[in-house]
């Protein structure tokens, strides 16, 4: 039984759910960021899978998915840098990285 699209999709879905759980349930801001990274990469896996198993053109000439994935990795890197910088700033200000206590935007 070779590798099929479903393997990719299931892997992506599992990774996404793990990431989602981490992003929602963790109280440490760093852990939340890690969850988000996992979600992004879950999407990357799905994109690459779709790209590889497409039925329109040969794989070598149909790179949209891969390019998209690379873009996401790039953006994710930037996002991580910004988000970590914010976490550090919040930590300096409030001496905590617990997201349940970061609720200045409350009503």
Residue with tokens 């690459």: 48
Tell me the two tokens of residue 14.
């599992």
Tell me the two tokens of residue 24.
């929602």
- Tell me the site size for other proteins, rule CB under 8 A: 13
Q: How far apart are CA 54 and CA 81, in angstroms?
A: 34
Residue 10 in contact with other proteins, rule: CB under 8 A: no
Q: Contacts with other proteins in 14-53 (CB under 8 A)?
A: 20, 23-25, 32
Residue with tokens 């609720």: 103
Tell me the two tokens of residue 3.
């590798």
Residue 100 in contact with other proteins, rule: CB under 8 A: yes
Rank residues 25 and 73 by Cβ distance to other proteins and give the closer one: 25
Rank residues 9 and 99 by Cβ distance to other proteins and give the closer one: 99
Q: Contacts with other proteins in 51-70 (CB under 8 A)?
A: none
**Cβ distance 97 to 30 under 8 Å?**
yes
Contacts with other proteins, residue ranges (CB under 8 A): 20, 23-25, 32, 99-100, 102-107
């Amino acid at each position: 039984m070779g590798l099929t699209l479903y393997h990719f999709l299931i892997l992506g879905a599992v990774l996404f759910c793990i990431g989602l759980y981490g992003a929602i349930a963790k109280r440490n801001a760093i852990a939340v960021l890690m969850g988000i990274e996992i979600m992004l990469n879950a999407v990357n896996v799905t994109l690459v899978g779709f790209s590889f198993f497409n039925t329109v053109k040969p794989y070598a000439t149909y790179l949209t998915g891969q390019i998209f994935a690379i873009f996401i990795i790039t953006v994710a890197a930037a996002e991580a840098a910004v988000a970590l910088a914010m976490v550090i700033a919040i930590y300096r200000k409030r001496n905590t990285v617990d997201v349940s206590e970061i609720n200045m935007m409350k009503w």
